[in-house]
Chains A and B, each alone.
Chain A
Amino acid sequence: MSRRGNIARWCVRLLMLALAFFFAWGGPWPGWMEHLFPALSPFAAFASAVAHRGWYRAVYWLLPPLALLTLAVFRGRFFCRWVCPAGTLYAVASTFSLKKQVLRWRISPFLFWFTLAGALLGAPLFLFTDPLAAFNRSVVTLSGLRATVAMIPGVIVPLFMLLSLVQPMLWCSRFCPLGYTFDLVKLTPRPVSRRFHNDRRQIVAGLAAGLPLALLASSIPIHPGRKRTWPILPPGALNADDYAERCSRCYACVNACPSRVLNVRFSTNRSWAQFCQPELTPDSGVCDEYCNRCSLVCHTGAIQPVSEDEKRYRKIGTAVINKDACLAWSDEQYCMVCDEYCPYNAIHTDTGPTGFPRPVVLPDQCRGCGMCQHNCPAIRAGKAIIVEGLAEQREIPANDLYDI
């Protein structure tokens, strides 16, 4: 490429990098911006469609990845060279590289088929390999997640930047399954049958490794000794297993959450399939009554879009009172803060023999928003009201406790 062309390309790349960074950092801008870049990836769209076993995305969100795929038919890895923000970061690091060819083997076909096989059986870990999600994740991690565990998946981009200092463009040339997708669809004089020929061993190995690993991941609990619990998931997630398998960990929802109740951590103990997924942690925030932002920014359909009204009737968890820790039940205080804050009138007041009002949760009315847990003033034995997650979210019918 000519020198002038090279300068033009770098300008476009840095601009795209800045845009991607800006959108991923989050802020008051509309939800579609926050997941614009991760939603571009045809690889992620494909892998999550496999996980859904069907199409899930609104048509207009289908168009950008489809356009990229069409572009790739004629121009191959055009996206990689002009747009991909992760690629740009690697390219910057690679200009200072020692230029050693340590890894000669290209394992991206393996990763591609490994991911698809995993998606088939409900292991989501491999959506991690999408570079756009990885980029988004790194930025969100940088912009301040409270959980250190989020550093683990967030570190992919920085790690490969470091590795690029040894071997230039290591990720792009050896690992990237998105780049492989573009190569796959590119028009070449080679016949289609030959296209898979060179990679046949990796395809077989990817499928062979992905299937059993997925099975293992979704059945082994993170802490084997402990009781298995369900996570509290953002409103719009269907059930815990589907969510784990469809989430690409791009953390656009974590960033979109205005109250910071959505967080990354091992809060619950189902299986390794839930590794670093976004979950609600009511100690860090509350799921506001009139908010549905997270459900609008998910591009893999792990969180289905719900309207603000639908969200208010969606049960995502159930609050449970620990009477031993409760100021009203155990310490004879006038508290009822949980009742005060509950937007859904799901706390019933029990007037005990001493006249102190004491809270009782109405589980069929409780949405699990965490308002009670977040504001519970008890400290002697920890929070006295804790929200527990559900295997499956459901709608609470309108009733005269809340619909007035």
Chain B
Amino acid sequence: MTTQSRAAIHRRDFLKSGLLATAVMAMDPWTILAEGEGDAPKVDVWFIKGPNRKKQMLKALEIIHANGGFGSHVDTLTLKVNAAWARTPEQAANTHPDLVDVFLKGCRDVGIQNVVVPENPCNSPRQSFPRSGIEQVVKKNDAKMIDLKSKKDAFVSRRIPHGKNLQDVQVGREFIETDALVNMPIAKHHGGATLSMAMKNWMGAVEDRGFWHRNNLHQCIADFSSFIRPDWTLLDATRIMLDQGPAGPSKNMRTPELLILSRDQVAVDVCACRLFNTSIDGVKYLQIARSMGLGTTDLEAVNLHQVTA
């Protein structure tokens, strides 16, 4: 589903509910959805806790399907993992392959034909894809891992209408031309961005990351999040590094054993801050997201479900 077509659906929902059109057009689709439904303005976030990642992901899939799944007529699903670093799963720089494995199997089970996993890795894909363990599980599940670095015509140009610093972006084609989009990042410390979670993970979807660093990284992260809207975000917080991120290795590790799930990626990030003993005030791009009105930045507006798996 493209961003445009999704916006169209939400617009239809909104018109049905009969609220003021112009004021809400510029607002976030999830906010619109929540307000459109009237009685429940809160956004759902699930904290799925457990020692077994496979069971956590099965639970997450269960919740996803109980809450609208990936939409109707989904032939193609694009999954954004973090497979950027030549690090093993234990070192917590990349999304854990067990989560990816169960997720991909779940996609196959509900009949999604094409699942692609594009990534513009930081380390060479020869090193990071296999060492992360993700390449193996993608192959095992008949999905397709795409190295955006070496692929020809891998990126398409898009304008970001609400972007302040980042207005033109070259983004991986599969992230745009897809029926469903899922973000599955890992939560970790980050030297430049403070924390890397859901919103920061999209840096692996674009061609020129350097531009972001030269033009206020935090603003660019928020700008891109105003543009890209995944259907679901699944944040791997099963084990996290508290320093030396994003690549590590770090000896300062914690194991919250959490998988955080929501339709609202901003809400996921805001909720995940607490794992690092900080809040929205400690992360600049979240503050910018708040001032831009992206997603749900108010914890009061979050309907938090604690689930064990």
Q: How many residues of B contact A (CB 8 A)?
A: 29
Q: Judge if B290 is at the interface, Cβ distance under 8 Å.
A: no
Contact B191 A375 (CB under 8 A): no
Q: Which of B215, B245, B247 has the most CB of A within 10 A?
A: B247
Q: How far is the CB of A338 from chain B (nearest CB, A)?
A: 9
Which label, helix, strand, loop or mixed, suits the secondary structure of the A interface? loop
Q: Judge if B250 is at the interface, Cβ distance under 8 Å.
A: yes
Q: Judge if A143 is at the interface, Cβ distance under 8 Å.
A: no
* Interface of chain B residues 277 through 298 with chain A (CB within 8 A): 284
Contact A377 B247 (CB under 8 A): no
Which label, helix, strand, loop or mixed, suits the secondary structure of the B interface? loop
Contact A345 B244 (CB under 8 A): yes
Contact A402 B249 (CB under 8 A): yes
* Interface of chain B residues 90 through 129 with chain A (CB within 8 A): 122-124, 126-127
A-B pairs with beta carbons under 8 A, tally? 77
Alpha-carbon gap, A336 to B211, bound state (A):
14
Contact B210 A377 (CB under 8 A): yes
Q: Judge if A59 is at the interface, Cβ distance under 8 Å.
A: no
Alpha-carbon gap, A348 to B210, bound state (A):
21
Q: How far is the CB of B255 from chain A (nearest CB, A)?
A: 15
Chain B residue nearest in CB terms to A285: B124
Q: How far is the CB of A290 from chain B (nearest CB, A)?
A: 6
Over the window 176-211 of chain B, the binary record of Cβ atoms lying under 8 Å from chain A Cβ atoms (1 yes, 0 no) is: 000000000000001111000000000000000111
Q: Judge if A333 is at the interface, Cβ distance under 8 Å.
A: yes
Contact A334 B217 (CB under 8 A): yes
Q: Judge if A342 is at the interface, Cβ distance under 8 Å.
A: yes
Q: How many residues of A contact B (CB 8 A)?
A: 30
Interfacial chain A residues near B67, Cβ < 8 Å? none
Q: Which of B190, B193, B211, B213 has the most CB of A within 10 A?
A: B213
Q: Judge if A83 is at the interface, Cβ distance under 8 Å.
A: no
* Interface of chain A residues 388 through 404 with chain B (CB within 8 A): 400, 402, 404
Interfacial chain B residues near A183, Cβ < 8 Å? none
Q: How far is the CB of A70 from chain B (nearest CB, A)?
A: 41
Contact A334 B284 (CB under 8 A): yes
Alpha-carbon gap, A288 to B87, bound state (A):
12
Chain A residue nearest in CB terms to B130: A290
Partner of B216, one of A334, A340, A404: A334
Contact A333 B190 (CB under 8 A): no
Alpha-carbon gap, A349 to B243, bound state (A):
11
Q: How far is the CB of B230 from chain A (nearest CB, A)?
A: 23
Chain B residue nearest in CB terms to A291: B127
Q: Judge if B274 is at the interface, Cβ distance under 8 Å.
A: no
Chain B residue nearest in CB terms to A331: B214
Over the window 298-335 of chain A, the binary record of Cβ atoms lying under 8 Å from chain B Cβ atoms (1 yes, 0 no) is: 00000000000000000000000000000100010111
Q: Judge if A148 is at the interface, Cβ distance under 8 Å.
A: no
Q: Judge if B251 is at the interface, Cβ distance under 8 Å.
A: yes
Q: Which of A258, A288, A342, A402 has the most CB of B within 10 A?
A: A288
Alpha-carbon gap, A333 to B215, bound state (A):
7
Contact A340 B214 (CB under 8 A): no
Interfacial chain B residues near A343, Cβ < 8 Å? 86, 123, 247
Q: Judge if B49 is at the interface, Cβ distance under 8 Å.
A: no
Alpha-carbon gap, A258 to B150, bound state (A):
13
Contact B123 A340 (CB under 8 A): no
Contact B213 A337 (CB under 8 A): yes
Contact B124 A288 (CB under 8 A): yes
Partner of A335, one of B123, B124, B213: B213
Contact A289 B127 (CB under 8 A): yes
Q: Judge if B11 is at the interface, Cβ distance under 8 Å.
A: no
Q: Judge if A379 is at the interface, Cβ distance under 8 Å.
A: yes
> Can you report 28 residue pairs joining A to B where beta carbons are below 8 Å apart?
A258-B124, A288-B86, A288-B126, A288-B127, A289-B86, A289-B123, A290-B131, A327-B213, A333-B214, A333-B217, A334-B193, A334-B216, A334-B284, A335-B213, A336-B192, A337-B192, A337-B213, A340-B122, A340-B190, A340-B245, A343-B86, A343-B247, A345-B244, A347-B191, A349-B191, A357-B192, A378-B214, A379-B210
The 4 closest A-B pairs by CB, nearest first: A377-B210, A336-B192, A336-B191, A339-B191
